[in-house]
Structures are given as structure tokens and as C-alpha cells.
Amino acid sequence: MMLSVLLLGILLVILYFSFSGRSKRRAIPSPSGFPLIGNLHQLSLTPHRSLCELSKKHGPLMLLHLGRIQTVVVSSAELAHEFMRIHDLCFASRPRVKASKFLLYDGKDLAFAPYGEYWRQLKKLSITQLLSSKMVQSFEHLREREVAQLVQSISSIASDGGVFSLSEVFNWFTNALVCKAVLNSSISDEKKKLLAEMIHVNTVYFVKVFAEDYFPSLRWLDVLLGLEGKLNRHHKKWDAVLDAMIEEHISSSEERGSKGISFLDVLLDVQKNDFSSEIHLTKVHIKAILLVMIAAGTDTSFAVLDWTMVELVRNPNLMRKAQEEIREIAQGDATVREEHLSKMHYLKAVIKESLRLHPPLPLLLPRESTQDCQIKGYVIPKKTRVLINAWAIGRDPESWESPEEFKPERFLDCPTDYNGNNFKYLPFGAGRRICPGIQFAISSIELTLANLLCFFDWKLPDGFKIEDMDMTECGGISCYRKQSLQLMPCFRA
């Protein structure tokens, strides 16, 4: 009897302290939701916008119940600093999502791999062999050659007085440039078109609502609705393309011998010399890595080029100002070369402002907490998903004057860079998971825009006005403009 009373007393004490401890925890502000689905119904096809609107009501730190998945949304520079600098290690991993499981060979790529030794070694390999300052500089002649060919192609259109889709050209051009850097070989126009289409489908699948992602026991519903089948067919399409790329690369290795070693050659060498390498790679790993390098490299540069030209067309005075700077610096030269770019301060400001308003990933890739963590008095439990709304942070009136206006001047004589040190400005993320391809992307973007603005004036097709330009965004993990940019190039006066 006494033992029962004693055990009951101990149990009551434990329960008291457990619940009293919980009651002292501050509850993260959260919008009300429906039973079972929680807040899923409040996500639109452009979730960065719907989450921004919710944060205006519930605050810059907001908890969403997306089915059975607890998700924290961060919408201010101060809180982004907490998650990606002070507590970055706790939030450096990725959640396992269905699109990554199928398309990226269960997260064996650099972008979606969980935080750990494999990811660290893969990042090290990718930077040293492809994305370091030294390697990016080594691609200078490749970029200049590809951009010169682009200018020549557009010159033919200008000679005929034609209108064309600059968006489509940007997509093909960035894809060709990335493939050349990764594979050290050119790809056919047919394959460029195929890859562009497949990359676009990828961006849609990564924001598509799959039942299994939010209700782990409901995978059968994805199967029943045909969603998993479509995803698997798209994966098989990618798998066949990547297999062909690798086989073609291996079979042509002798022919390419004198042209230097590519990033794919490095990956194949690591696979071959597995026991002497710090990282274990199979063909499956190589395909996952290639897919992300090609897709992310194409996607990022294309989105920035397209949005920047859209903003310049909408602001002709700013376009003229950029053109005057570029033409003065490059006067007398047949092309704008990379050595000119360091002097083009206004062009750099234009690109930075475009990235503030239109970050390539408006919601940075999702993170996941690896342990309980306390942020500003709130406890973030282990396995909580975290979304950083870079789009909302870039338009926050607390951080930016006239945040909805396109004003490149705000970046003149301003030390802000792309390296994630200023948490008001996160177009490429910050912390351990910052995009490793920043230098590669920016070098290509600056050189391309400098040449297009130097040698051509740009007009909308006859009958179209600036106010007719539709700024609606496509739904996807990347932020594209829904309407293709149709322009008429004219040789500069």
C-alpha cells in the first residue's frame, strides 16, 4: 500500500513538472487551420506570397501545421540571422520529401542531401573542382565564347527586324553554358530543348502537394491519384537522359583528351578509385549530382537574366543609364569582356536589385531541425521543417525604403554582397547551406547582360505597352514570370 502511494506521488510530481514546464513555453504564433489538413489550404500556387500575407498578420516567426508536419516560417532579417547564423548547425539538414526521393535518387545530390559527412565531402569536391573562384575564372574564355555566339544569333534577328522570345533564348543559353562547364562538351539543340522542358517540370514537382509528404501513412493516395506514377515516369525520363550523357562522355573520352578534364571526369575518377577517395560514389550518386548541377545552374541564371531584362524594359530610363555606363567602358571593343565588368558598378547594382525583388528561390530550400532549439524564447522541436521566405525579407519595409520599387541606386556605394552576410538580402541563402554556385552564376549573368545591353537597344513588339506587361509568376520552386518575354532587338544607334 505504502509503495503504491509513493509511486503515485512520484508520478504526480513528474506530471506536474512536465506540464508546468510546457506551460512556460511560449507558443509560436500560428494561423487557425482545419482539422487534419491544418494550414495546407492557406498555401497558394505562389506560396511565398501567401506566406508573406500570413506573416503580416501573425508575425515574422510563424508556425504552420501542414498536415502532420510542423513547419516554421521565417520572414524577417533578424530571425533569419538566428536560424542561419547563430543556430545554423541545428537547421543545416534537409527534410526527406517525395520529389527528392524520386527525382534526386533519394537525396544523393548536393542540394537535398541531409547534413552529414557525405554532404560535406560532396560540397568540398564540387567547390574545388567546379565552383571555386579559381575554377570559375578558368571558365572565362568559355563564357566569352558562348556570349559572343549569343550576340551573333541576336544580330541576325535584329537584321531582319524580328521579334523573338528572349526568355526561351536565355533558357537554352544558360543550359548550354552549364552543360559545357560540367561536361566539357556541347549538347545538341534538340537536347537543350528537352532539358529545358524537364527542368521546368522539376520545379513544379518540388512544390506539388503529395499526400505522403504531409501524411506519411497516405502514400497509397498518391498512387491512387496517379501522382506517384507521373513522378516516377519523369524520373525514368531523367534517368535515361543522364545515363546517355555519361555513356556518351565515357565513349568520347579519347577524342576529348586534349581539351582538359571536366567535372564529370572528376566524378567518374572518384567512382573508379573508390578506396582512395574520401567520398563513396556510385553511378546513382553521379546522376543525382549531375542532375542538380545542370538543373540548378540553368534555373538560377535563367530566372535572374529574365527578370532583370523585364525590369529594365519596364524602366527604360534605368536601362539607358546601364547602357551608357557599359558602352562608355567597352567603347571601341568588339565585345564586352570580363575584364570590363569590375568597372560596371551600375550594372552590378541593377542585378542586385533584380535579385532583391525576384530571388531565384523565393522560399529557400526547406531546412529541418536536428535537435530541439530555442529561438527568441520559442522552442523549435527536433524534426521541425523551416522555410525562410527570402522573397518577403527582400521586400520588408522594416529593412528597405520603398521596397516594391525597382531602384538599383540603393546598391551603389553599398557593401552588400551575395555571400549571406547581410540577412536583409538573401537571394542565394546563407550559412552552411548557401548556394555554392554564386560566383559561377553571377559571372555568367553580368557578362551576358553587359553584352546584350551594349550592342542592342530593346523594344516591345508593336502595339504593346509597358503597362501591358504581365508580372504574374509561375508556381514552382523557382520563380519564373508566367509570360515569356517577347522583344525586338535593334542595333544601337
Q: In the chain, where are the structural domains located?
A: 28-491
What's the rounded Cα separation, in Å, for the pair 362 and 360? Answer: 6
Neighbours of 333 (CB within 10 A): 11
Supply φ then ψ for residue 282, to 5 degrees. Answer: -110, 180
Provide the pLDDT for residue 18: 42
Kindly tell me if the per-residue pLDDT of 373 is higher than 60.
Answer: yes
- Kindly tell me the burial class for residue 244, based on how many C-beta atoms sit within 10 Å of its own C-beta (0-12, 13-18, 19 or more): exposed
What's the rounded Cα separation, in Å, for the pair 62 and 51? Answer: 9
Provide the pLDDT for residue 19: 41
What value does the mean pLDDT of the chain take? 91
480 CB contacts (<8 Å, ≥6 apart)? 200, 203, 303, 306, 473, 474
**Cα 109-180-486 angle, rounded to 5 deg:** 95
Which residues sit opposite 69 in a β-bridge?
A: 66
What's the rounded Cα separation, in Å, for the pair 418 and 6? Answer: 62
| Structural contact between residues 183 and 176, judged by C-beta atoms closer than 8 angstroms | no
Q: How far does CA 247 lie from the centroid of its chain?
A: 28
- Kindly tell me the burial class for residue 395, based on how many C-beta atoms sit within 10 Å of its own C-beta (0-12, 13-18, 19 or more): middle
**Virtual torsion, Cα 121, 122, 127, 131, nearest 10 deg:** 180
Sheet order of strands, 69-74 included: 61-66, 69-74, 385-388, 367-368
The position carrying cell 569536391 is: 125
Which residues sit opposite 64 in a β-bridge?
A: 71
- As given in the structure block, the three cell numbers for residue 328 are 562608355
**Virtual torsion, Cα 321, 326, 328, 333, nearest 10 deg:** -160
Stretch 336-351: mean pLDDT: 97
The position carrying cell 508546468 is: 20
| 441-452 burial: b if 16+ Cβ within 10 Å, else e | bbbbbbbbbbbb
> Would strands 385-388 and 69-74 be described as parallel, antiparallel, or unpaired?
parallel
Kindly tell me if the per-residue pLDDT of 353 is higher than 70.
Answer: yes
Q: How many residues does the chain have?
A: 493
Supply φ then ψ for residue 484, to 5 degrees. Answer: -65, 145
The predicted model scores a pTM of: 0.92
- How sure is the predictor about 275, in pLDDT bands with cuts at 50, 70 and 90? low
Tell me if residue 149 falls in helix, strand or coil. helix
- How sure is the predictor about 261, in pLDDT bands with cuts at 50, 70 and 90? confident
Kindly tell me if the per-residue pLDDT of 9 is higher than 50.
Answer: no
Q: Find the range with the poorest average confidence among 238-252, 263-277, 294-308, 378-392.
A: 263-277
What's the rounded Cα separation, in Å, for the pair 352 and 359? Answer: 10
Stretch 431-442: mean pLDDT: 96
Asked whether residue 435 is marked as a ligand-binding residue, the answer is yes
- Kindly tell me the burial class for residue 306, based on how many C-beta atoms sit within 10 Å of its own C-beta (0-12, 13-18, 19 or more): buried
- How sure is the predictor about 260, in pLDDT bands with cuts at 50, 70 and 90? low
| Structural contact between residues 481 and 472, judged by C-beta atoms closer than 8 angstroms | yes
- Kindly tell me the burial class for residue 137, based on how many C-beta atoms sit within 10 Å of its own C-beta (0-12, 13-18, 19 or more): exposed
What's the rounded Cα separation, in Å, for the pair 73 and 390? Answer: 11
**pLDDT more than 90, % of the chain:** 83
- As given in the structure block, the three cell numbers for residue 80 are 533569419
Which residues sit opposite 490 in a β-bridge?
A: 457
What's the rounded Cα separation, in Å, for the pair 394 and 400? Answer: 8
What's the rounded Cα separation, in Å, for the pair 149 and 48? Answer: 36
Kindly tell me if the per-residue pLDDT of 311 is higher than 90.
Answer: yes
**CA-based max dimension of the chain:** 101
Nearest to 140 by CA among 148, 128, 150: 148
Under CATH, domain 28-491 is a member of which superfamily? Cytochrome P450 (1.10.630.10)
428 vs 15: which has the higher pLDDT: 428
Compute the chain's Rg from CA coordinates.
25
